[in-house]
Amino acid sequence: MSYKSLFLIALAALGIQGLSAQQTTYAELSKKTNGYWEDTVFKGDGFKNITSFKAPKQLTDHSYYLRYEGPGWENQQVAYRIYLDWRNAIDIFGKKVSDMVLKEVGTDNYDSYHEDAPWGQDILKVGNALGIGSYGRYNNGITHHFKNVKTTKAKIINKESYSSVIIDYKGWETDGFKTNLKSTISIDNEDVTFKVQLKSSNPIDGLSTGIKVFKQAPIFSKEGTKWAYIATYGPQTLVNDTQQLGMVIFYRLDQLKELKKTEDDHLIIFKDGSNEVEYYAGAAWDQQLNGIQTKAEFESFVNRKLNQLDNPDYSKWSVRFMEDEIQRFPDPTLLDFVKKPKWNYTNGLVCKAALEVYEKTKDERFFNYAYRYADHMIEADGTIKTYKIENYNIDMLNAGKILFKLYEKTKEDRFLIAMQTLRSQLENHPRTSDGGFWHKKRYTSQMWLDGLYMGHPFYAQYAKTFEKGAAQAESYKDIIHQFDLVNEHHLDASTGLLFHGWDESKQQQWADKQTGTSPEFWSRAMGWYAMAIVDVLDFIPEGVEGRGRLISYLDALSNSLKKYQDSTGLWYQVVDKAAVKGNYLEASGTAMFAYAIAKGVNKGYLSASHMKTAELAYDGLINELVRKGEGGLYDLTQVCAVAGLGGNPYRDGTYEYYINETIRSNDPKGTGPFILLSLELNR
């Protein structure tokens, strides 16, 4: 039985209900239900969760009245609590599981959370400090907590995507100054941070937040354009000296008065006369499930978060996932899990996505990522490492698409020479008798849907950029002809779907002896084809004969795909066999279909009604297949690693073949289209 099942059974036995197994955030406040006060200690047993609370006058530290001494809040990564007494510090519950655990904490024994448990434990010794991200008032060299407050009230809010703790302090007095302070603490499931918003009824000097000082964890900091952070990392848990903990607070530069270190806290002191301030605080424990394990990973996380706060675009999935890809594969030549650099279509796919993110953000890091790939793979004389023109492999043209932007920006002649070399491949590339490019020289007489994406957006952009007159017109005609051939040979009229491959000779084992087509409708093959149409249309001007046919092919496929879209928004690996055993909802084909449809709507090729299909697919990817993985990076799961036809060992193109190919996370054939789709949807 899983830990989650045992946990929910235990809660039910304790009479604690209402926690959904699907929740990703949770907040609570729990008080004892039976008993009496004896001075400042409550004598009694049994806890009851409440959504609103007014602190009794007797309440102080170690009153044994509130379970774990105050409200708590959590997401799937970490949990926190705030002492609802004079200390008012924020503490950390480190989590080893992704379940919501707070309802269990302290129910078996009042302070058992100080001991290691399957869910985790209390990991911060707060002492006299603010802990992580709590608040006070710094005045006359002292950080004042909440010893003098007329009334303290708390409220708990749990919504679908976030949870909040709201605390109202009436008549908070420090050094003769009195005000009412409202604190709103909110957490979502994006990362380990929570947001704090403070509102004072009177302008206040010295309003502060901070991080507890540990000598063994020195502070580091960074300023962005609008936001900044202070952070610590090291052996600063109360567990032992080997476990690592990172703590960080992000604050607005326009609200800062000064930073100050005291005996207990690294303080952020807000401007005198403040009425409202906001900041984010959080902690990353190296024992967290799939959590941040090193200082380098922690620094990467806080810098990424700083970028997101400075620029709203950085909070979007397009930028976030591209940043995660760069961290996952810092060397772009080793994308696709390879051990040696190679000129390949997958590198070109992700680097093209990086360039599109660069166009959106103007952040040079994304341009430089694509540049590093080309810089390594293309010699000074324009020679492309590992590329062999005599193989006549149409896959090799795809990476050439990144060279247009690189050449435009850098004016390095080697990039132009490399593009010319790739274009020259098409002059002698083997063709079928009716003019279709073979997928590869060794795949005799075969056209694959994949090839239209691999070769023709490059072909079209080259024609528009460098060719003129009759030569350009002939290139456009040739490109459109490839799509006409696919619709002649690959299209199944009854479903509106297209078969992966076509063998003109009908000699391949996978080829139907009457039609020459392969037997199944593989999602990614059709995804390549759909993306090829919308990307080729970027470079074929209106008025070119046949351009309208390309749009009609896109519209027809989009209409057909709607019939096979799952209720989750996703499409199956073998598109038309949803109910057949072994089939699964696959990420790359889904992302490709949605990208082509969304771009088709944005460009005016498709009616606006089609956008619902793309948005449903995108929501399905986010809800079903995007997961938080190791080091806090996001993973795109359930991507078919590779599939093809023929070869050695032989791939027969049957249903059993497609569903049994390797499935992995973060395959570039999934992540690249997902990033491009995110850009099209501005998400």
10-19, 139-148, 552-561: range with lowest mean pLDDT? 10-19
Rounded distance between C-alpha atoms, residue 516 and residue 31, angstroms: 73
**What average pLDDT does range 246-270 have in this prediction?**
98
Listed residues 309, 328, 359: the one ending a domain: 309
Q: Are residues 618 and 487 in the same domain?
A: yes
CATH code for position 90: 2.70.98
Residue 362 makes CB contacts below 8 A (sequence gap 6+) with none
Give the orientation angle of helix 668-680 with respect to helix 317-328, to 10 degrees. Answer: 160
Q: How many CA atoms lie within 13 A of 445 on its CB side?
A: 10
Judge if 299 and 376 occupy the same domain: no
292 and 316 fall within a common domain = no
How confident is the model at residue 379, as a pLDDT? 98
% helix / strand / coil in the chain, to the nearest 5? 35, 25, 35
User: Could you tell me if 328 and 293 lie in one domain?
Assistant: no
Distance (Å, whole) CA 191 – CA 300: 13
Q: Which of 248-252, 362-366, 394-398, 550-554 has the lowest mean pLDDT?
A: 362-366
Task: Return the percentage of the chain with pLDDT > 70, whole number.
Answer: 96
For residue 446, give the nearest of 496, 388, 499, 396 by alpha carbon.
499
Is the model's pLDDT at 6 over the cut of 50? Answer: no
Same domain, 301 and 344: no
Average pLDDT along the chain: 95
Q: Are residues 333 and 344 in the same domain?
A: yes
Residue 432 lies in a domain: yes
pLDDT > 90? residue 5: no
Exactly one of 395, 450, 576, 635 is catalytic; which is it? 450
End-of-domain residue from the set 309, 329, 359: 309
Q: Identify the DSSP state of 623.
A: I
Per-residue pLDDT, 109:
67
Q: Tell me, what's the pLDDT at 290?
A: 84
What is the SS3 string spanning 183-236?
A: EEEEECCCCCEEEEEEEEEEEECCEEEEEECCCCCCEEEEECCCEEEEEEEECC
Residue 621 per-residue DSSP state: I
125: pLDDT confidence band, cut at 50, 70 and 90? very high
Residue 8, in any domain of the structure: no
DSSP state of 630: G
Contacts of 646 (CB under 8 A, 6+ apart): 443, 446, 508, 509, 510
Q: CATH number for the domain including 595?
A: 1.50.10.10
pLDDT over 70 (residue 29) = yes
Question: What per-residue confidence (pLDDT) applies to 314?
Answer: 85
Residues recorded for the chain: 683
Does the pLDDT of residue 21 top 90, yes or no?
no
Cβ atoms 402, 367 nearer than 8 A: no
Q: Which element (helix H / strand E) includes 372? A: helix 364-377
Q: What is the pLDDT of residues 198-214, one digit of tens each?
A: 999 999 999 999 999 99
Give pLDDT, residue 201: 98
- Given 287, 309, 331, the domain boundary residue is 309
Rounded to an integer, what distance in angstroms lies between the CA atom of residue 572 and that of residue 568? Answer: 11
Distance of CA 627 to the CA centre of its chain: 8
**Neighbour-count burial for 513-522, b at 16+ CB within 10 Å, e otherwise:** eeebbbbbbb
User: pLDDT by residue (tens digit) across 528-557?
Assistant: 999 999 999 999 999 999 999 999 999 999
Pairing of strands 501-503, 571-572: unpaired
414 and 265 in a common domain:
no
CA atoms of 620 and 636, how far apart (whole Å): 12
d(CA 214, CA 208): 19
Judge if 527 and 595 occupy the same domain.
Answer: yes
Residues 6+ apart with CB under 8 A from 548: none
What residues form DSSP beta bridges with 45? Answer: 34
Report whether 61 contacts 83 (CB < 8 A): yes
Q: Report how far residue 392's alpha carbon sits from residue 395's, in angstroms, rounded to the nearest whole number.
A: 9
Position 678 pLDDT exceeds 60: yes
Furthest-apart CA atoms within the chain: distance in Å: 97
Q: Is residue 665 part of a domain?
A: yes
CB count within 10 Å of CB 544 equals: 15
- Is-catalytic flag, 450? yes
Please tell me the predicted confidence (pLDDT) of residue 629.
85
DSSP-assigned states of every residue in 283-332: EEETTSTT---SHHHHHHHHHHHHHHHH-GGGGSHHHHHHHHHHHH-SSG
CA atoms of 19 and 543, how far apart (whole Å):
60
Q: Phi/psi class of residue 316: alpha, beta or left (left: φ > 0; alpha: ψ in -120 to 50)?
A: beta
DSSP 543-591: TSTTHHHHHHHHHHHHHHHHTT--TTS-EESBTT-TTSTT--EEHHHHH
DSSP reduced 3-state for 181: strand
Please state, as a whole number, how many other Cβ atoms lie within 10 Å of the Cβ of residue 142. Answer: 13
pLDDT for 298-318, tens place per residue? Answer: 999 999 999 999 988 888 999
Are residues 524 and 401 both part of a single domain?
yes
- Which of 484, 534, 486 shows the shortest CA–CA distance to 673? 534
Domain co-membership, 287 together with 316: no
Q: Domain count of the chain? A: 2
The answer to whether residue 269 scores a pLDDT higher than 60 is yes
Burial class (CB in 10 A: 0-12, 13-18, 19+), 670: buried
Give all strands (DSSP E) within 61-162, no chain letters.
72-75, 78-82, 90-95, 120-122, 132-139, 142-144, 151-158
Q: Same structural domain for residues 252 and 354?
A: no
- Name the token pair of 647: 């070869």
Please report the pLDDT score of residue 8 as a whole number: 41
**What is the per-residue pLDDT for 22?**
62
| Domain membership flag for residue 125 | yes
Task: Please report the sign of the dihedral spanned by the C-alpha atoms of residue 509, residue 514, residue 520, residue 525.
Answer: positive
Closest of 27, 31, 58 to residue 167, by C-alpha: 27
Closest CA to 87 of 29, 143, 27: 143
Instruction: Decide if 251 is inside a domain.
Output: yes
| Mean local confidence (pLDDT), 565-585 | 98
Q: Is residue 41 part of a domain?
A: yes
Q: pLDDT tens across 634-662, in order?
A: 999 999 999 999 999 999 999 999 999 99
Question: What is the rounded radius of gyration, in angstroms, for the C-alpha atoms of the chain?
Answer: 30
**Domain that includes residue 102, residue range:** 20-309
**What phi-psi label fits residue 625: left (phi over 0), alpha (psi between -120 and 50 degrees) or beta?**
alpha
Q: Is the pLDDT of residue 3 over 80?
A: no
How far is the C-alpha of 507 from the C-alpha of 455, rounded, in Å?
25
The pLDDT tens digits for 53-107 are 999 999 999 999 999 999 999 999 999 999 999 999 999 999 999 999 999 999 8
User: pLDDT-based confidence at 469, cuts 50/70/90?
Assistant: very high
Is the residue at 5 inside a domain? no
Could you give the residue ranges of the DSSP H alpha helices within 494-522?
none
Asked whether residue 330 falls in the same domain as residue 206, the answer is no
Does some domain include residue 373?
A: yes
